[in-house]
Structure formats: C-alpha cells, structure tokens
Structure 1
Amino acid sequence: MRSDRLVAILLMLQRRGQVTAPEVAKELEISERTARRDLDALGMAGIPVYSVQGRAGGWRLLGGGRTDLSGLTASEARALFLVAGPAAAATPEVKAALRKLVRALPEPFREQAEAAASSLIVDSQSWGSSGATNQPPRFLDTLQNAVIQGVQARLGYVDNAGNETERIVHPLGIVAKGPSWYIVAHTDAGRRTFRIDRVSSVAVTDESVQRPENFDLAESWHEIATEADRRRTPVEVHAMCAPEGLGYLQTAVGDNLEIGAAATDGRVAVVIRGPSEYGIAGHLAGLVEWLEIAAPQSVRDHLARIGTALTNRYR
C-alpha cells in the first residue's frame, strides 16, 4: 500500500539523511518512477522533503533528518499522519511504523499526530446511489481540524426532509463512505452521524470534546454501518443452498449474504437480507434449482406466485 511506502521512505530519510530514487526503489522493491512519485508526494503533503541536484544529489529531509524529526512543524506532522494513517486503510506494518514515528516526534507534536492518524476512516463501499459527488464537501477540513484539536463545534444541518437545525456536537472522527463523507460525533442525545455535505455552517468553539471512554472510531463505524445496513435491508431470509449454486447466489445478492455451516446432505445454510419481501423473492426466483427457502413463509408465498406467473406466461 502507498501509505506503507510513504512512512517507510520518511523513516529512511530520518535514518540516512539523504536517499536517492534508486535506493528507495531497491529497498522497497518498486520502480524508480514510483519511488520518485512517492518522494514528490511527501513534499506535496507538506512534509519538508526537498531534492538536491547533481552527482551527489538525492532527496533530503529539512533539518538534516535528526532523530527527533525537529524539521517537522506541528502542521507538517499532522499532514503526514493524515496521508499515511487512515485507520481503516493502514496495515499492521504501517501502524507499527507510525507508532515508532510518534516516539521520534517532538513531545508537543505527538498528541495531534496521533489524533490525525486516528481521525479518518476510509470505507470504499458506497450505500447505493447517495447522490454525492467525489468532490470533498465544503466543511470537511474545518471538521477534521475540530476532530484533531479535540474541540466542540456548532453545526447548521439540513436533514432528509430539508429542515435546518443548529446543534452543538463533539466531533470524534471523519468517515469517507464511497463518495460520501460523514462526521461521527457525540451529542446530548448520544452518538450521532452527520453527512458533511448537509452541513450548512460550522463554528468551532474553545470547549473541549467530551470523548466517550475507550472510544475507537473503527469499531464505532462498524457498528453504525452494520445498523444502517440492517435498516436498509430489514427482510431476513433463511435458506439452504447447494454448493454449486453459491456463486450464483453471491452474484445475485452481493454483500447481503451470510454463509453458514454445511448440513449432512452437503447443502449450505445461508441468510439473505433485502429491502422487501417481494424484491428479495424476485432476486431468488431464478435460483430455485439450488436454493430452498425455509423462512419466512411470506417470501415462500411470493416465490410460489412468481412461479405460477412464469408458468402461465411461458408454458
């Protein structure tokens, strides 16, 4: 992953003081072209990396790559951790590297660098057609800074019905869900999630965030996303599927499928979720050769009616 490489390159610069693209390429087993792009990306992210031309040239870290990384300003340290440390994207290796890097940062920078690394979740799978664009929403940077700084914010917010309200929130983290952006926040009514493109105004306060004990953004978002998926697909169908039909079933229903244990006859227990009984029956009607619905009876009834209609039309 690119985030792994960016952290690895920075640590190489810290350790050696200067590196060349061929050295980076050899150590990380990438092409020289990729190494140059990554070195340029560090500079574009605000990290004080600069190139030295000539026979003895290469890339250097401003400040000589000292052990305490004092060449980094607070905002530059935050920029690095935002680029390299999204909580859902970082591998165990990059998380370990980030922990080492935190220990090398000057004390005043550590807290905000750690906050930046854990302030963002990237969830690439979108929720259907959300109407959102790939452009970052207007108040994204302001809200992410509030998360990192640990301060409350006053939001103007437009709900699904078009009603605008104002509320005080305690920003806990930012989530990129497909093309949409969300802020997870603590409120007087408990944990809430707000779509950032519906935020109409933001006023950051000087009041500190009240962070729930042992809060973890990744775990919290998993709970939120699971509950949201269940609300969107409230119908739960229990069935037995022949092994040779599992691939067709997965193609038909995608992530709304849970595969269980195999029975003595070789068939596999499955749970399928969908938004409506008739809709899920329609999806499953073409799989009757491999699939036997056990419950609910209402879905079985829909399938029987669909079967009768097919027979009447095509016999």
Structure 2
Amino acid sequence: MRADRLMALLLLLQQRGQVTAPEVARELEVSERTARRDLDALAMAGVPVYSTQGRGGGWRLVGGARTDLTGLTAGEARALFLVAGPASAATPAVKAALRKLVQALPEPFRVQAEAAASALVTDPRRWGASRVEPRTPRFLDDLQDAVIHGVQVRLGYVDRDGAGTERSVHPLGVVAKGPSWYLVADTDAGRRTFRIDRVSCVDPTGEPVHRPEDFDLAACWREIADEVDRRRTPLEARAVCAPHGIGVLRMAFGDRLEVGGATTGGRVEVVIRGADEQLLAGELAGLVDWLEVTGPPGVRDQLAAIGATLVGRYGR
C-alpha cells in the first residue's frame, strides 16, 4: 500500500499547504517514523517538497505546486480510485480526499474512476490459521479491468482437486481477503466466488456484464464470508460466561463468538462456533475460570474427558 500512501500524502500537502509528520501519521494511520520516510520518499521521487524546522515548521510543496490530474492515464485513474472504495483499507479522510479528485478528472476517465471505487473490497482477516504468503495473482489486473469496464470474460479455472474448467462469467467485484484474492461473479449456475490464483486464463468476450442494480460488493462479500465461516465451524456450543470474561472470549474466538443477554444469575449467555466437538472442547478447556458450557452434551463429555486426563497426568 506504500504507493497509495504516497499519493494520499501528496493530496494532503496540496489540500493543507503544510503538514507535519505527526499529522501525516494520524491521517494515514502509520508511525511517525514511517510518515517521515514517506515524506523523504516524495522528495527523492522528484516531488518539489521541502521541510522547515522550528516552531510552526513542517513540510510544504515548493511554490504551492500541484499535481496536474489531466495528465493521468485511464489506467492510472482507475488504480487511484481502487483505494477509495467504501470497503477499502484506506482511512475515511484518505477516501474522502481521493473521491473529491473525480471532479478534476477528464470526462472520459470519470465513469471508469467511479466504477473503480466500488470494484474492490479489502478484508484483512485470514481464513482460520491460513499461512498463505501474500503475492499478486497473474490475472488480477485483467479481472479488475473486466469488473471496471463491465465486460464478460471466458474464465479458465483449476479447482482444489486440480480439475480444469472453462466458463463464461459476469465479473462483479474483486476481494482482497488477507493474503488471497477472490473474484465475485455471476455464472449460469448462480453467483460464485473464484480464487484468482487458481485462474488459468481470462479472455474478454466483449459482451456486457448483467449487473444487478442493487448489487453491493461489500454486503455481498460479508454474506459469502459469513457462510464460509459457518461451513468451516458448523458446531455451536452454548455456555454462560462471567461478565469480566467476555473480553477474553472475544480475543480467543473473534467472529466465532455470539454474545447474548444476561441470565438471572448475572452471567452472560454466549454461543461459540467450532469445527467439531473434540477441537472445540480443547479450545474451551482453558477457560473454565469464566465459562460453563451448557451444551451440546458431546462437548461437555469431551471437556470431562480432558479434565480426567489432566487430573490423571498431573494430579497427586
């Protein structure tokens, strides 16, 4: 995201006239050290920026210089607005500044720039304990262009078993999920999600995408991610928890925890999802100071077995 930060930093300089490293750090949600490195990087890249020391000092553009947005290519304009979408990782201030630029873009680029702002969703959470290394898939740019231009593609795809298929799809959006990238698309068989690193070819057909009028990529992805999470953790354990233990449960289980209402005894009802009885009982076994599992019976039986094993191994 460094290139995006540098662009946002340049916009802040143009908007405010002068910025300090602490101000940049707050706006871009980075450390002051990173903010200073980014300011130095702008100068090294040839941007006419200079610093003044002492009280009232900061960083300024020489002579109030401004970037000529009419020099942007269509691809550069789209790339800029990919970080301005409603569900991107940019801060609200950065998103607002980027979206304002659409008014300064040449008319031929404006529609595509606006489309780019809703073409990408960033979801920083990994699937479970995934250790996939971040890398840019080969066909990521081609699929982003298909989404932005609203063009159907002939998609080659290799599934997890190594079987290859081809199909025509209507690209609706691209999602960055942790280190992995996904395409959300409509197909003859309904809406589907494709891991982009498994895409083997992308051939635009020239036919327009049939995009539902009420389609919202961020909302659609939330539904997809929730469904995947439910499939990965189909078992639900019911329990009651001491109020001061809720924070511990949130840290331990994240989105797998649902917090309910208070009981007559002052404890809090909770539901915790897991993959199966044995694994979930293993996760819950260390939380007995705060938690009492009320069901299902299989999880309670597994907890009792874990307790008996611990006593037999470590008890006197």
How would you bin the TM-score normalised by the shorter chain?
Answer: 0.7 to 0.9
What is the rounded CA distance, in whole Å, between the counterparts of 1:120 and 1:189 in structure 2? 23
Matched, 1:122 2:105: no
What is the rounded CA distance, in whole Å, between the counterparts of 1:281 and 1:25 in structure 2? 52
**Shift in CA distance, 246/114, structure 1 to aligned 2, threshold 3 Å:** same
What is the rounded CA distance, in whole Å, between the counterparts of 1:106 and 1:232 in structure 2? 47
Report the CA distance between 1:98 and its aligned residue.
3.7
What is the rounded CA distance, in whole Å, between the counterparts of 2:41 and 2:74 in structure 1? 21
Kept after mapping to 2: 8 A contact 1:6/1:84 = no
**Shift in CA distance, 274/76, structure 1 to aligned 2, threshold 3 Å:** same
Letter in 2 for 1:25: T
Aligned equivalent of 2:195: 195
What is the rounded CA distance, in whole Å, between the counterparts of 1:146 and 1:37 in structure 2? 36
Kept after mapping to 1: 8 A contact 2:12/2:19 = no
Report the CA distance between 1:83 and its aligned residue.
4.2
Report the CA distance between 1:301 and its aligned residue.
2.1
The alignment's C-alpha RMSD in Å is 3.1
What is the rounded CA distance, in whole Å, between the counterparts of 1:38 and 1:213 in structure 2? 42
What is the rounded CA distance, in whole Å, between the counterparts of 1:138 and 1:40 in structure 2? 32
Q: Mind listing any 5+ residue stretches in structure 2 that lack a counterpart? A: 26-31, 51-60
Aligned equivalent of 1:51: 48
Kept after mapping to 1: 8 A contact 2:11/2:97 = no
Report the CA distance between 1:275 and its aligned residue.
0.4
Aligned equivalent of 2:39: 36
What is the rounded CA distance, in whole Å, between the counterparts of 1:303 and 1:268 in structure 2? 20
Counterpart mapping for 1:213-232 below 5 A: 213-232=213-232
Letter in 2 for 1:166: E
Report SS of the residue matched to 2:230: helix
**Shift in CA distance, 307/77, structure 1 to aligned 2, threshold 3 Å:** same
Q: Which moved more, 1:3-12 or 1:179-188?
A: 3-12
Q: Mind listing any 5+ residue stretches in structure 1 that lack a counterpart? A: 44-48, 64-68
What is the rounded CA distance, in whole Å, between the counterparts of 1:130 and 1:287 in structure 2? 24
Letter in 1 for 2:48: S
**Shift in CA distance, 180/26, structure 1 to aligned 2, threshold 3 Å:** closer
Report SS of the residue matched to 2:176: strand
Kept after mapping to 2: 8 A contact 1:146/1:204 = yes
Matched, 1:25 2:54: no
Report SS of the residue matched to 2:229: helix
Aligned equivalent of 2:29: none
TM-score (norm 2): 0.81
Report the CA distance between 1:130 and its aligned residue.
4.2
Identity, % of aligned positions? 60
What is the rounded CA distance, in whole Å, between the counterparts of 2:303 and 2:263 in structure 1? 24
